[in-house]
Structure 1
Amino acid sequence: MPTNLGKRVVYQRRIARMTQQELADAAGVHVGTLRKIERNSRGASDNVVEALAAALGVDPSLLLGSRDRTDARVHAAMPSLSAVIAAYEVPDDGPVRQLNELRTVADEAMTWRLASQYVRIARHLPSLIGELIRAFHLASAEEKPEIAGLLVAALRTADAVAYKYSARDLSARLIDLMRWAAPYADDPLLDATVAYVRTETFFAARAFAPGLRMLEAALDRAPTSDDDAAMAARGALHMRAAVIAGRAGLVAAADTHLAEARRLGDAVSESVYQGTAFGPNSVRVHEVSVAVSLGGDHVRRALDVANDWTPPRDLPAERHSGFYIEVARAQLWSGLVHDAFKSLKAARHIAPQHTRDHPWVREDAATLRRLRRGDAESLSNFAEWCHAGE
């Protein structure tokens, strides 16, 4: 048990202006149990920590506190996740819930990914994926396509953790399994989603030009209808293509894809389509990402966006925090040291797990600490929190 878990619960409860009884009721725990947790006279299981965090409206990592403890919980799940996907053709026996229940839990897991709740994903996804694989093999012809789609969504959620925590081989295997399952869903929009996620393997290998070609081939295959879902699928692929073109230094290609993403984004409402946030706000975030990827004189574009626009609060946490991480890098490159640190703190507030282990955050925090060696204690605390310089 983290030594200061009780103090963190008390702190977050007071911020939320909740009594002990109100928090206990909202979390589904006995008020006497909560009192003991807050006094640090008893431990709290993972389920209780998650319930308290959900009731408080915060990420569980804010209650766990210790970065090492949080990381350990994620890494501990990797072997079981690896074992489950290795046996996808010959899964273990076990229970399988009804399709409507599987649909509900798969949708809930997607919300964890969008909210960057990696500890929760690591704990629950191995068993969910195992159950969905069993369900797929047992499904009737009528149910198999939908279950295949749910399996792809769950694999994508698990991949978010594998990729985030640098388990690159596991991430690649999860994506391969997504590519195996997607054809059974018989959904061209899902194929576009898989291509979007598959880009991670090209980012990891720094194979930017081949990644761009893969995305452009996926765009050639994508549905061309004008309904919102199809336009969002194409728009998301254009966003991704713009970023990877920027990483490759292909200015014209980046601008072309970004312009098409902007046109499609303006044609739909901001929402989550096939598990991917898309709309005018998401495109605006990617404008910053492309500018930072291109670097040099293009960085001014990122600062202009940041000066004129603030992401809405309801933008998914991972994308929302990513905006401030990208802006911080542009600000640091432009000598705006104070602004860069302010942006990093904003990212941390929005999605602590996403921010803490982002390589750019560590690099930028280490640079800030060198540039502001005599500055306030808060910068040193931030750098230690994200293990800057490691």
Structure 2
Amino acid sequence: MPQSIDEHTGARIARIRKQRGLLQQGLALRANVSKSLLSKVECGQKPASPALIAACARALGVTTSDLLGQPYAEELRRDRMDALIQPIREGMENWDVALEWETAPRPSALIRADVQRVLVQRRQAQYTDMVRDLPSLIDESVQAVHTSTGEEQRQAYECLAGAFRCVFTVAWKFGFIDLATVALDRLAWTAPHADEPGLVAMYSFLRAQTTLSSGRYDVGMRVVDRALRDLDGQDARRPAGLSAMRGMLHLRAAVIAGRAKDRDHAEIRLAEARALAAETGELPDYGVTWGPTNVGVHAVAMASEMDEFGLAIELAKDVRIPRDWTRSRAGHHWMDLGRAHTWAGHPDQALDCLQRARRIAPQQTRYHPTVRETVLALKRRERARNGSLTEYAEWVGV
């Protein structure tokens, strides 16, 4: 059966389940979910939570991207983003070999300025500009690593780590999981050479993110806790950045515990993050968005993921997003809140949230599976034709 762009995640689960020759009861047993919940998800009566998607993907022997329908090839071609991904794949081929360049690479300080620019583009969800510049920055950083020594070489490694961080982000968000895995491996090799504990912690933070997709929550929690132990007593050129990474690791642990349905542990980790944020205030560093606002945003997202939509909506009332806050995180918040309003039966508020996400971070919003699932759910519940919803669905590609 061919895949339809209007096929929601539950329908994909049902289609692949039937291809595997499994009844709903068989998949429910393998995925350790209730048959009643699986039945409602497959027919679109309940949302497919990230935890359920990961469990079904493992049970069916596919990736979560397969169940989410990623990557969205037609939209990528339409936006000419597909043509920008291949040069990155080619650029990632070299990370450990010096080439015979006719001219020397620029000083690491100049390369670093450009890497900082693409890191800002990443946080602001400006992916087209970021992706266009990454291949040349990777090449130049690799060459600088192999043709310099001392502090110059250390800074080159830091530049390379930042570039690989950006590759991971765009590959993961667009559903190119194989490319994201390569980027993560490259970061694991690069970060220790940069002699920045925060970058090593960043690798662990991202590695734990991949376990959310695979459903290996036990591994993810151990990765986070090991990274937190490794940060104890560390010296750093940017000590405030280490506080930011500690906070982000606690938030990651809270999400992992939430996906594992361990609410008590999730609340403990969220409380630890909240207490640390109260001490530090808003503290962006190492390319993360850390502070009280992000803790509040995570609390909303966790409640929505656990299908506690009323709680998510209540918690969102206390979230005040600063005017100059990171667009990628702000956009993600409005996506999560839109999902909560949809399944709480508030279609107008849901569409308003999605429109906010679109205005703040259009590229991220258009390619995010949460948005597609929310729009499809709104369309299924539409009682009268809504021109705004129709236009939005066409923009998203469903």
Is the TM value for this pair above 0.5?
yes
Q: Give 1:259 deviation, angstroms.
A: 0.7
- The residue number in structure 1 matching 2:93 is 86
Pick one of 147, 163, 167 that aligns with 1:154.
163
- In the aligned structure 1, how far is the partner of 2:99 from the partner of 2:84? 18
Q: Give 1:373 deviation, angstroms.
A: 4.5
Q: Is the 8 A contact 2:313 2:341 kept in 1?
A: yes
- In the aligned structure 2, how far is the partner of 1:228 from the partner of 1:187? 12
2:340 partner amino acid = A
Q: Does 1:139 align with 2:145?
A: no
Deviations 1:164-212 (A, max 9, x none): 1111011000010000001111221211111112223213323233212
- The residue number in structure 1 matching 2:291 is 279
- In the aligned structure 1, how far is the partner of 2:99 from the partner of 2:81? 23
Pick one of 62, 83, 105 that aligns with 1:76.
83
Q: Is the 8 A contact 1:148 1:185 kept in 2?
A: yes
User: Equivalences for 1:261-280 in 2 at 5 Å?
Assistant: 261-280=273-292
Secondary structure at the residue paired with 1:174? helix
Q: Give 1:87 deviation, angstroms.
A: 1.9
TM-score by length of 1: 0.78
Call closer, same or farther: CA 1:322–1:270 in 2, change over 3 Å.
Answer: same
User: Equivalences for 1:8-47 in 2 at 5 Å?
Assistant: none
Deviations 1:36-65 (A, max 9, x none): xxxxxxxxxxxxxxxxxxxxxxxxxxxxxx
- In the aligned structure 2, how far is the partner of 1:136 from the partner of 1:352? 35
* Larger relative contact order (Cα-Cα within 8 Å, sequence gap ≥ 6): 2
Greater Cα offset, 279-288 or 83-92: 83-92
Q: Is the 8 A contact 1:219 1:237 kept in 2?
A: yes
2:139 partner amino acid = G
Q: Give 1:228 deviation, angstroms.
A: 2.8
Secondary structure at the residue paired with 1:278? coil
Q: Which runs of 5+ in 2 are unaligned?
A: 1-73
Deviations 1:342-390 (A, max 9, x none): 11111011000010111010010011012115232110110111123xx
Greater Cα offset, 276-285 or 307-316: 307-316
- The residue number in structure 2 matching 1:301 is 311
User: Equivalences for 1:197-212 in 2 at 5 Å?
Assistant: 197-212=206-221
1:248 partner amino acid = A
- In the aligned structure 2, how far is the partner of 1:223 from the partner of 1:210? 21
Secondary structure at the residue paired with 2:289? strand
- In the aligned structure 2, how far is the partner of 1:267 from the partner of 1:198? 27
Pick one of 312, 323, 327 that aligns with 2:333.
323
- In the aligned structure 1, how far is the partner of 2:333 from the partner of 2:295? 11
- In the aligned structure 2, how far is the partner of 1:92 from the partner of 1:341? 52
- The residue number in structure 1 matching 2:130 is 121
Call closer, same or farther: CA 1:69–1:79 in 2, change over 3 Å.
Answer: closer
Q: Give 1:90 deviation, angstroms.
A: 2.1
- In the aligned structure 2, how far is the partner of 1:294 from the partner of 1:118? 29
- In the aligned structure 2, how far is the partner of 1:207 from the partner of 1:147? 34
Secondary structure at the residue paired with 1:77? helix
Call closer, same or farther: CA 1:158–1:71 in 2, change over 3 Å.
Answer: farther
Q: Is the 8 A contact 2:282 2:293 kept in 1?
A: yes
1:316 partner amino acid = T
Q: Give 1:316 deviation, angstroms.
A: 0.4
- The residue number in structure 1 matching 2:321 is 311
TM-score by length of 2: 0.76
Q: Does 1:188 align with 2:197?
A: yes
1:147 partner amino acid = A
2:329 partner amino acid = R
- In the aligned structure 2, how far is the partner of 1:91 from the partner of 1:383? 48
- The residue number in structure 2 matching 1:341 is 351
Q: Does 1:176 align with 2:185?
A: yes
Deviations 1:117-157 (A, max 9, x none): 11112211011111111111112123222221121111111
Secondary structure at the residue paired with 2:284? strand
Deviations 1:285-324 (A, max 9, x none): 11112212222xx433311122233312211000000011
Greater Cα offset, 111-120 or 67-76: 67-76
- In the aligned structure 2, how far is the partner of 1:309 from the partner of 1:230? 25
Pick one of 377, 380, 385 that aligns with 1:375.
385
Secondary structure at the residue paired with 2:280? coil
Call closer, same or farther: CA 1:83–1:186 in 2, change over 3 Å.
Answer: same
RMSD: 1.9
Pick one of 369, 372, 376 that aligns with 1:359.
369
- In the aligned structure 2, how far is the partner of 1:362 from the partner of 1:93? 46
2:224 partner amino acid = L
- The residue number in structure 1 matching 2:301 is 289
Q: Is the 8 A contact 1:291 1:302 kept in 2?
A: yes
Aligned length: 320
Q: Is the 8 A contact 2:77 2:83 kept in 1?
A: no
- In the aligned structure 1, how far is the partner of 2:311 from the partner of 2:230? 32
Greater Cα offset, 98-107 or 215-224: 215-224
Deviations 1:218-258 (A, max 9, x none): 11212357953222110010111111221121212211111
1:185 partner amino acid = A
1:176 partner amino acid = D
Pick one of 102, 112, 122 that aligns with 2:121.
112
- The residue number in structure 1 matching 2:263 is 251
